[in-house]
Chain A
Amino acid sequence: MTTVTTPLDAGPIIETHGLTKIYRVYQKQEGLLGAIRGLFRRRYREVRAVDGISFRIEPGEIVGFLGPNGAGKTTTLKMLSGLIYPTSGTARVLGFVPWERANAFRRQLALVMGQKNQLWWDLPAADSFALHRAIYSLPLDQFEQTLDELTELFGVAHLLRQPVRELSLGERMKMELIAALLHQPRLLLLDEPTIGLDVVAQVSIRRCLREYNRRRGVTILLTSHYMKDVEALCERVMVIRHGQLIYDGPLAGIIEQFSQSKLVKLQLAEEADPVPFRRYGEVVHADGPLIELRVERQRLPEVLAAILDHHRVLDLNVQDPPLEQVIARVFEEPLAAHETDSQLTPV
């Protein structure tokens, strides 16, 4: 099993500069006068779905795109795959300009969207794969070899002849991924691949993707709002919020950058009233002798000293808050004044 060699240009597989996508959202006006006025001149509001994103991804990386709903993850992915024209900015993917959608470009790319089905519903997955083979003009022996490898990896060989509509969600997703990988793309874009799946399926798919990346060196860019996806697969994470890239680096660095607090877990000698602890920080959890506090990092030393001074502590533990919490708080940051809702309607 050879790894995919990057041809002539051994440069980054994705490179973007200032990628921006702005939508106009027409605003319905109130009242009768407004409705009439609306017939002649329409007022619109600009929504910056993607706002000046720049990054580079090297071949073979698995990168996670993290962000709340409406942050611009899917829009970015669609621009990288050529589905959407950007408003401004540039991007080069696999050496091509994506939105020109050259056939050679589309042959090396695959996009899989969670909860969306591109396989034929009534037919067995095997037939959809055969159709793929015809469309991508894959030689038969190469196709069969790839198919065997993939079905063995994902463990779905016994389901090939079952109509897709009879498969479970997790099995369907695996089939979708196989369909995406049949033509051995160099770049795999995944949009919320594990959404709606049960835990077992999620774990299994992550494992398979990791393995496939190891074997074939396929570059993977996935968006998710499940931390587990990102933790399991990605060494590098890009965080997007309100269309802007606010972090690009290793996973561990997120806590460094975004978390201003630490979690202090106390086990006191006897039951205590949590109220006095409020001056140290936020009481996250209080259960008899066990108290959990969220304390600002700068205040940590003095808070610890004060607690030890004033209370009898049997056990004390200082932790980083879970990644999920950190991210969640980052996402909750209030919106800028000009963006009041994230609902986009087609222009």
Chain B
Amino acid sequence: MKPTLSSLPFEQADCSDDSGSVWPRASFLLEAGKYGRILRIALVERLAYRLDFILSTLLRFLPMLTTILLWLAVYAGAGRLSEGELGGFSLNEMISYLLLVHISRMFSSMPGLAQGIARDIRDGNLKKYLLQPISLLPYLLAYRAAHKVAYITMTAVPYAVLFFLCRDFFAGWPSAPVLLAYAVSLVLGFLVGFFFEAALGMLGFWFLEVSSFLYVVGTLNFFLSGHMFPFDLLPATFAHILKNLPFQYLAYFPAAIFLNKVPQDMLFSALATEAAWAIALALLAGWLYRCGLRRYSAYGG
């Protein structure tokens, strides 16, 4: 009954295979034939792929419905349906928050990253990194970044539709500096998520079976990142602790910026802190990697 770890499906670069049928006409039609092929691919195959994709995304949005209804009921029960707030969040802000958290997660979720690293370690695929002048982390980072770009581009439309349908919950766009800070926080969130998961994956150098541990972390993350609900609803001490942990950058922080929950004069320092965390995690992952690799090669690979 826990949320599954995998992020949205289709989080992979779109690489459809052109099986290339021979166009059985005279050679001067070969050019037209090529375009015909491209058209065929574009229409028939992408259509089926898209339909599937739309279906999966729709299914993904379904829990949002019940979540929104629940919070409506909570606010109604507290008598704060039309005005008033819980934990500093009005009803509209709460629902906006829950929607925005999806966007944050789009940037910061790293499905399969830690597992993949641990598996490569276990299967002995890291030998090539011992021999070749490429390092694992920069390679994986570039790979993930490319994936994310493709993925975000693909999911842009369904999400745009969803946000359009829910536009009444939003108080409009934030000001330009806030919007800029929001964008920066998302990118930094990507880095925090990446290096955190990468560091977890590095544990595979020391422990044989990492996947169950990753599962624990994933479950905790759901709560600690603010994905479930904003920290501000918790008692002050807990909220304070959670706002100082790096997990907030995976969900809570960008959403809070967008909703103007972070005072404008503190924006810069908050982002700087996020950047510092990203760097710290990057250093940690790198250090674990080097230690692990040394240990790995000591055992003869």
Chain A directly contacts chain B within the complex, with at least one CB pair under 8 Å: yes
Which of A29-37, A269-277, A305-313 forms contacts with chain B?
A: A29-37
Q: Are B21's CB and A36's CB within 8 A?
A: no
User: Is B44 in contact with A36, judged by CB distance below 8 angstroms?
Assistant: yes
Q: Is B50 an interface residue (CB 8 A)?
A: no
Which residues of B lie under 8 Å from residue A35 when comparing CB positions?
40, 43-44
Measured CA separation A35–B42 after assembly (Å): 12
Are A31 and B36 in contact (CB-based, < 8 A)?
Answer: yes
> CB-CB < 8 A to A30: which residues of B?
21
Cα(A36)–Cα(B40), bound, Å:
9
Compute how far the CA of A30 lies from the CA of B19 in the bound complex, rounded to whole angstroms: 11
For the complex, what is the distance from the CA of A31 to the CA of B43, rounded to whole Å? Answer: 12
Chain A, interface SS category: helix
Within A24-71, the residues touching B (CB, 8 Å) are 30-32, 35-36
Q: Decide yes or no whether B39 CB sits under 8 A from chain A.
A: yes
Give Cα distance in the complex from A36 to B39, angstroms: 12
Q: Restricting to A119-177, which residues have a CB under 8 Å from any CB of B?
A: none
Closest B residue to A30 by beta carbon equals B21
- What is the distance, in angstroms, from A30's C-beta to the closest C-beta of chain B? 5
* Tier of interface size on chain A: under 10
- In the assembled complex, which residues on chain A have CB atoms less than 8 Å from the CB atom of B36? 31-32
B19 CB to closest chain A CB (Å) equals 10
Chain A residues with CB under 8 A of B21: 30-31
Closest beta carbon of chain A to B187's beta carbon, Å: 41
**Closest Cβ of chain A: how far from B18's Cβ, in Å?**
14
Q: Which of B65-90 contact A (CB under 8 A)?
A: none
Q: How far is the CA of A32 from the CA of B43 in the complex (A)?
A: 9
**B36 to chain A: closest residue by CB:** A32
CA distance A30 to B40 in the complex (A): 10
Q: Measured between C-beta atoms, what is the minimum distance from A267 to chain B in Å?
A: 55
Question: How close is B94's CB to chain A, nearest CB, in angstroms?
Answer: 45
Tell me the minimal C-beta distance from B190 to chain A in angstroms: 38
| Complex interface: chain B residues within 8 A of A31 (CB) | 21, 23, 36, 40
Residues from chain A with a CB closer than 8 A to the CB of B39 are 32
Cα separation A32 to B44 with both chains bound (whole Å): 8
Q: For residue B131, give the distance in angstroms from its CB to the closest CB of chain A.
A: 33
Rounded to whole Å, the gap between the CB of B261 and the closest CB of chain A is 51
**Interface code A108-123, partner B: CB below 8 Å = 1, 0 otherwise?**
0000000000000000
Chain B residues with CB under 8 Å of chain A are 21, 23, 36, 39-40, 43-44
Pairs across A and B, CB under 8 Å, 13 listed: A30-B21, A31-B23, A31-B36, A31-B40, A32-B36, A32-B39, A32-B40, A32-B43, A32-B44, A35-B40, A35-B43, A35-B44, A36-B44
> Which 7 A-B residue pairings sit nearest by Cβ, starting from the closest?
A32-B40, A35-B44, A30-B21, A32-B36, A32-B39, A35-B40, A31-B21
Q: Known contacts A31-B23, A31-B40, A35-B43; can you find 9 more A-B pairs with CB under 8 A?
A: A31-B21, A32-B36, A32-B39, A32-B40, A32-B43, A32-B44, A35-B40, A35-B44, A36-B44
